[in-house]
Amino acid sequence: MSARQPAPPLGADNGGIEQPFIDHLIELRDRLLRMVVAIAIIFVGLFPFANNLYTWIAKPIRAQLPEGATMIATQVASPFLTPFKLALVVAVFIAMPYILYQLWAFIAPGLYRHEKRLAVPLLASSIVLFYLGMVFAYFVVFPLVFGFFTSVTPEGVQQMPDIAFYLEFILKLFFAFGIAFEIPIATILLVAAGVTTPAALRQKRPYVIVGVFIAGMLLTPPDVISQTLLAIPMWLLYELGILFSRVFQQDTRAKMPAELDASDDSPAAESREPASPSGSGPAQIVVGHEIDSGDINDPERFRPLTDDEMEAELDAIEADELRAHQDSTDTGGINADGSIGSGAGSITATAALLQQANQRRAEGNLVAARHLLYRVLEDGNIDQRRVARNILSDLDS
């Protein structure tokens, strides 16, 4: 049996039981309510300390103000609403891991096993990196930015920042640096989805350097210090993302054969197990080469097919489909598992997926091809997985 049991699309048939669209909306509503309740509970606990929170968050600018200068409130309700808003935002930031967990729990049933294995560490890393971006902004950027603003104050002008404008200013910086620190996650996701490769990312380095300075100019206040303090970390994080994506890609290539071999005890694999040339028993066949049973644990036994061997495998699968179609025309039979025909020549939905994936690869739609190939790797028999594995290897090369 296949190891993957993805959730069906909304409204799709699941074992004869239709999943109503309203059930998904009810689940989404329940999880949104849990998010709101979590934020409300944290906010209730923080609100009595709202003024203390604002005092702490205002330390970077108060430390740079001239002696005797203070912050002011230019609106009537600002002394209440500004700490109130700060407490609410802090509650959302604190509850963010729980909020993301609820979102993950909602979409996880519809993901494939390899997608779950990728998403969990990336989700945890994205939370940590977002918090690190905020910490970097508070302890590194704020002192330098506010010190610069204070030093360029014209003579005769007393600097007295408004508390509401100050809060709006720092929240923009917190958000900008939190998002900027997500660059490694975005890089790994792009490589994992097949949109780009580490080599292509390295070639685009000059354009990225210009782009991060433009982004720093747009996301930060109009001063060169904050722009540079955002652009340089973004560039370094981009380089870090390239490094991690290379490690991730190599790790994926190393693990894929072992994981697929571990799932070769499925009924589909057993039904397609080829006989050895001597007829003494099944031979352990690896991508394009035969090995004896004693080599089953050899980590080097994965060898890519040549182009001719790949075409031969695909032609063999297509011949099976044609033979199965002819059998179904003669017998009019459709098997219980959805296959057509009988015996070794039965055509399955997985074989059709493999053909579609190969067609998508020929069209240049690599993302769609990868998605189809992953489905073949988890559902197909040993021959289909062998071909899918080699197509993926060809896409990664």
Report the C-alpha gap between 279 and 253 in whole angstroms: 33
Residue by residue, DSSP assigns 50-98 as HHHHHHHHTHHHHTTSPTT---B--STTHHHHHHHHHHHHHHHHHHHHH
- Residue keyed to tokens 């350097």: 209
pLDDT given at position 275 = 40
Is pLDDT of 87 > 60? Answer: yes
Report the C-alpha gap between 248 and 36 in whole angstroms: 35
pLDDT given at position 321 = 63
pLDDT given at position 51 = 92
- Mean pLDDT is lowest, of 128-137, 184-193, 304-313, 359-368, for 304-313
Identify the burial level of 386 via C-beta atoms within 10 angstroms of its C-beta, where 0-12 means exposed, 13-18 middle and 19 or more buried.
Answer: buried
Average pLDDT over residues 127-140: 90
DSSP β-ladder status, 284-286 and 17-18: unpaired
DSSP β-ladder status, 289-291 and 284-286: antiparallel
DSSP β-ladder status, 13-14 and 284-286: unpaired
Average pLDDT over residues 88-100: 92
pLDDT given at position 345 = 41
Each residue's pLDDT tens digit, 151-167:
888 888 888 899 999 99
Instruction: List 14's β-bridge partners, or say none.
Output: 17
Amino acid at 14: N
Dihedral sign from CA coordinates of 254, 256, 257, 262: positive
Alpha helices by DSSP H, 58-196: 59-62, 78-107, 113-136, 142-151, 163-180, 183-192
- By residue count, the chain amounts to 397
pLDDT given at position 287 = 38
The CB density around residue 198, as the number of other CB atoms within 10 Å, is 19
Averaging pLDDT over each range in 145-149, 285-289, 307-311, 370-374, which range is the top one? Answer: 145-149
- Is 247 in contact with 254 (CB distance < 8 Å)? no
pLDDT given at position 348 = 62
Q: Is 161 left (phi over 0), alpha (psi -120 to 50) or beta?
A: beta
What is the token pair recorded at 259? 């994981």
pLDDT given at position 21 = 77
pTM over 0.75: no
pLDDT given at position 131 = 92
Report the C-alpha gap between 195 and 184 in whole angstroms: 15
Confidence of residue 122 (pLDDT cuts 50, 70, 90): confident
Average pLDDT over residues 240-264: 64
* Residues contacting residue 285 through CB under 8 Å, at least 6 positions apart: 274, 291, 382, 386
Is pLDDT of 89 > 90? Answer: yes
DSSP 353: H
- Is 357 in contact with 242 (CB distance < 8 Å)? no
Q: Which of 186, 193, 115, 184 is nearest to 392 (CA)?
A: 193
Report the C-alpha gap between 178 and 79 in whole angstroms: 27
What is the token pair recorded at 164? 């509401």
